[in-house]
Amino acid sequence: MRLRSLRGPWVAICLRIALGLVAALMGWPAAMGQSASPLPSDGVSISGAVVDSAGRHIPDVFVRLERSSVPGAVETTTDASGSFEFHSLKVGDYTLIAQKSRLRSHSTSVSATSADEVKQVKLVLEDLSAPVNAMEFADAPNFTVAGVTDWTAVGGHGSDSSLRTSEALTREALTLKPEAEHHSVTPATPNSIESDQAEGRLRAELANDPRSFAANHQLGEFYFRAARYHESIPLFGAAYEINPSDHGNEYDLARALKEVGDFQRAREHIQKLLAAEEVADYHRLAGELDEKLADPLAAVHELEQAVRLDPSEDNYFAWGSELLLHRAVWQAEQVFRKGAGAYPKSARLLTALGTALFASARYDEAAARLCEASDLNPSDSEPYIFMGKIEMAAPDSLACVEQKLARFAQDQPGNSLANYFYAMAVWKRQQQSADPLALQQVETLLTKAVTIDNKCADGYLQLGILRSSQRKYEDAIGLYEKAIEANPQLAEAHYRLGVAYDRTGEKTKAKEEFVLHDEIEKRQAAAIEEQRREVKQFQVLPQGPSVPPAAR
């Protein structure tokens, strides 16, 4: 985890750059004006107005225009009368969508068939974040993932902390567990007396009849539940040889092969099962295997089909996660939103929805969803950690976050991260109000964080920044050194240490730290760019199948 403090006017500049970068990545504007990636030119014009549900025209609304099957988009904002206009477009099919804060229009399709055509469109803003019922789920979203492309929009921006935060949160969101699994008791290990007895009995049954399907399958199932996957595979395999028509056993064999990394054999079995019958679990496993085998396009279609067959919480999460991983952020948001509407008690769907909203620079909405997730189970630390990270990356303090992080720190006083993130939220607010008591609270919370966990490098770093702001450079040096000891790759700690050495006249040491900072930044930027090149980005068309209604 690599988190940065606010740095006065420089932060505003950096955050504007970060917001612009995220906007460019998502194809949605972070500031007024046209996109840097215009669509091909011709003579078509598309113009219109954005109104609310009462028909009132709304100014300063972002309007996005995409041409079907053509990467890129153009964006503009409505003028004081709520009007917008796009000029010099190619003949073709287009999709428009408008957004302002929590309000958004449905996608509207426009077809231009002649070079000098003028099209008029009216977009109606609605609160699409509100929960919808199952009947409405069939109406939207409508999209099709049509292909993949290299992700080049972020090249050369490896130092951008806001984008890095989004990428890190995406990776963490993919590992979120369902409520039952998250709080389940760890199964007994094979060393327990009870487990030993069960294993002995099952092994004896198999020894008595080695050609028994049931004996092979049941011992394989025992090993699978104990996460002894390598031992389960020969048993499931033997049961498959005895009775290849038993789909449950073959599904278990495919799952075990996936767990040991034999993705190709696992996919062969799951494809055989799908040829025999359409089952949602088979499609979800097929999607997971396709992703592992670097075929994300096949994966996302399998996961979509799993939702259509069984709109369960697990399937919504898997489909949305695949979309989010491959930067189809708006589509991921829609899937997570539908899932969260169908399963309002799912903290992981709300947390994933918050992550998708953050990725599209909708910080206030992201915070609201994460706060809701934290209320579902206040003892679960994951939503708090996500909201703490987006609070630090967002341009302004986010409503509800400081209050929830205060609860986190109060309920879990021995949690280093609880104290750290609450401190950073208070500090961010203090910089707006210049409250000395709040600053003292920040110091107390950060000190507590590093006392609980002496490997809390970010806590030492922030304490050092606090001491430097008070011109206590000798104290700051010691804290920066502790941060580096806890995490030698924390580039900002090296930079800050260099500044502190420079302030105390130790120019040689300062230069050494600046050199280390630059080297670390360069290595980390290269590693991040490599990660980005490995993750393909989905190309999404606006027309396609819709999210099915949830099972009731």
Percent of the chain having pLDDT more than 90?
Answer: 58
Domain membership of residue 108 (yes or no) is yes
Q: Which two tokens stand for residue 538?
A: 């989905």
144's enclosing H/E stretch is strand 142-149
Question: Please, which pLDDT band fits residue 25 given cuts at 50, 70 and 90?
Answer: very low
Residues 486-539 have pLDDT tens digits of: 999 999 999 999 999 999 999 999 999 999 999 999 999 899 888 888 888 888
Q: Is the dihedral of CA 209, 210, 214, 220 positive or negative?
A: positive
CB distance 39 to 70 below 8 Å: yes
Sequence-distant (6+) residues with CB within 8 A of 363 are 357, 390, 394, 395, 396, 398
Q: Which residue has the higher pLDDT, 234 or 180?
A: 234
The per-residue pLDDT for 131 is 38
> Domain total for the chain?
1
SS (H, E, C) 290-331: HHHCCCHHHHHHHHHHHHHHCCCHHHHHHHHHHHHHCCCHHH
The per-residue pLDDT for 501 is 97
Residues 222 and 199: their CA atoms lie apart, in Å, by: 7
123's enclosing H/E stretch is strand 118-124
Domain membership of residue 63 (yes or no) is yes
- Residue 548, Ramachandran bin (φ over 0: left; ψ between -120 and 50: alpha; else beta): beta
Residues 110 and 64: their CA atoms lie apart, in Å, by: 13
Tokens 């898997």 label which residue? 318
Domain membership of residue 110 (yes or no) is yes
Instruction: Give DSSP secondary structure letters for 35-52.
Output: -SSPPPPSSEEEEEEEE-
Domain membership of residue 290 (yes or no) is no
Residue 537's DSSP bridge partners are 149
pLDDT over threshold 60, residue 158 = no
Residues 204-253 have pLDDT tens digits of: 999 999 999 999 999 999 999 999 999 999 999 999 999 999 999 999 99
Domain membership of residue 490 (yes or no) is no
The per-residue pLDDT for 147 is 86
The per-residue pLDDT for 110 is 82
Question: Please, which pLDDT band fits residue 112 given cuts at 50, 70 and 90?
Answer: confident
Domain membership of residue 116 (yes or no) is yes
Residues 361-413 have pLDDT tens digits of: 899 999 999 999 999 999 999 999 999 999 999 988 998 999 999 999 999 99
Range of the domain at 76: 32-128
pLDDT over threshold 90, residue 286 = yes
Residues 421 and 392: their CA atoms lie apart, in Å, by: 9
Question: Mean pLDDT over residues 76-80, rounded?
Answer: 84
Question: Mean pLDDT over residues 42-63, rounded?
Answer: 83
pLDDT over threshold 60, residue 16 = no
Residues 540 and 27: their CA atoms lie apart, in Å, by: 12
Residues 255 and 289: their CA atoms lie apart, in Å, by: 10
pLDDT over threshold 90, residue 44 = no
For the domain that residue 64 is a member of, what is the CATH number?
A: 2.60.40.10
Question: Mean pLDDT over residues 304-314, rounded?
Answer: 95
SS (H, E, C) 466-527: HHHHCCCHHHHHHHHHHHHHHCCCCHHHHHHHHHHHHHCCCHHHHHHHHHHHHHHHHHHHHH
Sequence-distant (6+) residues with CB within 8 A of 199 are 190, 219, 222
Q: Which two tokens stand for residue 177?
A: 């567990």
Domain membership of residue 38 (yes or no) is yes
Please state, rounded to an integer, the average pLDDT across all residues of the chain.
83
pLDDT over threshold 80, residue 188 = no
Residues 451-465 have pLDDT tens digits of: 999 999 999 999 999
Q: Which residue has the higher pLDDT, 14 or 447?
A: 447
pLDDT over threshold 70, residue 320 = yes
pLDDT over threshold 90, residue 307 = yes
pLDDT over threshold 50, residue 341 = yes
The per-residue pLDDT for 69 is 56
Angle CA 490–491–493, to nearest 5: 75
Residues 143 and 266: their CA atoms lie apart, in Å, by: 29
Domain membership of residue 529 (yes or no) is no
Question: Please, which pLDDT band fits residue 100 given cuts at 50, 70 and 90?
Answer: confident
Residues 63 and 85: their CA atoms lie apart, in Å, by: 9
Question: Please, which pLDDT band fits residue 36 given cuts at 50, 70 and 90?
Answer: very low
The number of beta carbons lying within 10 Å of the beta carbon of residue 269 is 23
Q: Which residue has the higher pLDDT, 111 or 248?
A: 248
Residues 359 and 25: their CA atoms lie apart, in Å, by: 9
Highest mean pLDDT among 2-6, 24-28, 340-344: 340-344
pLDDT over threshold 50, residue 541 = yes
Highest mean pLDDT among 15-19, 188-192, 272-276, 436-440: 272-276
Using a 10 angstrom Cβ sphere, with 0-12 exposed, 13-18 middle and 19 or more buried, the burial of residue 413 is exposed
The per-residue pLDDT for 182 is 53
pLDDT over threshold 50, residue 475 = yes
